[in-house]
Amino acid sequence: MSLEYLGESKSGQRSPKPLVDTKHSHNNGKEVNFLVLGKHSVGKTALTVRYLTKRFIGDYNSEQEMLYSHCTVLDGKHVTLHIIDTRGQDKLEDVSEDQVRWADSVIVVFAINDKDSFELARSIVEYIHNVRENTNIPVGLVANKSDLIDRNDVSDTELTRFCAEFNLYFFETSASEARHSVIEVFTVLARQVRIMIKKREKLTRFMSNPAVAAKLQIQQSFRNLAERAWRSRTSTL
């Protein structure tokens, strides 16, 4: 495993200067961009650091936004994960649209003992959905601090409905007590990103095949002819 710290930003504006080039290059899924969002103190840094270093420190610097680059092996293939651990949002306006566009996958975190953090997570998910409407990216909803189970403030029904509505990958994690739950978040989402990229590439190859393009064109011409015939028939009636 190699871990490389690439940069930091103290900006908390809606569209801070991106830490990385926000133009997308997929490299056949060899690189995956993760964006970690959520209200202050829900455990974004704890989750990210736990995943990268195996450690739970307990006290983190919340002033800085960090970008990490991490090489790992996923399903037998080398993959580099770029992870932006954001500073934490107080309101939706603190989310950077540039970063949402940069991401191949977004991890939206809330803490189970903080109902407000769930409400903000809800708004963030809706925002991602609007910004990325044409590109279906895997979005993970992470209920962190699951070790504080007796202080759970968010109902299962509410969660199930929300996840179904937005097609979210749901995870319950405890950065402090269960590293395996944290690994699962990054592994499942990175795998989904790779699957989606492969599907998109396959479709692009299929569509760029001249025989397929010609067939589609012929089908479209028939459709246009049929539509014209139908229109002229209905206008004479």
Instruction: Please select the residue that binds ligand GTP; options are 66, 72, 82, 88, rule is CB under 6 A.
Output: 88
Asked if residue 176 binds ligand GTP (CB under 6 A), the reply is: yes
Nearest one of 45, 55, 58, 47 to 8, comparing CA atoms: 45
Nearest one of 219, 171, 84, 128 to 227, comparing CA atoms: 219
Asked if residue 117 binds ligand GTP (CB under 6 A), the reply is: no
Measure the CA–CA gap between 196 and 181, rounded to whole angstroms.
Answer: 23
Among the listed ranges 6-14, 41-49, 119-127, 201-209, the one in contact with ligand GTP (CB under 6 A) is 41-49
Instruction: Please select the residue that binds ligand GTP; options are 32, 34, 35, 44, rule is CB under 6 A.
Output: 44
Nearest one of 97, 160, 171, 108 to 139, comparing CA atoms: 108
Token pair, residue 130, equals 């609007």
Nearer to ligand GTP, 110 or 196 (CB): 110
Nearer to ligand GTP, 72 or 174 (CB): 174
Nearer to ligand GTP, 90 or 201 (CB): 90
Measure the CA–CA gap between 124 and 146, rounded to whole angstroms.
Answer: 21
Asked if residue 140 binds ligand GTP (CB under 6 A), the reply is: no
- Alpha carbon distances (Å) from 231 to 184, 221, 225: 55, 15, 10
Asked if residue 9 binds ligand GTP (CB under 6 A), the reply is: no
Asked if residue 147 binds ligand GTP (CB under 6 A), the reply is: yes
- The residue written with tokens 């800085």 in the block is 64
Interface residues with ligand GTP (CB under 6 A)? 38, 40-46, 58, 60, 62, 87-88, 144-145, 147-148, 174-176
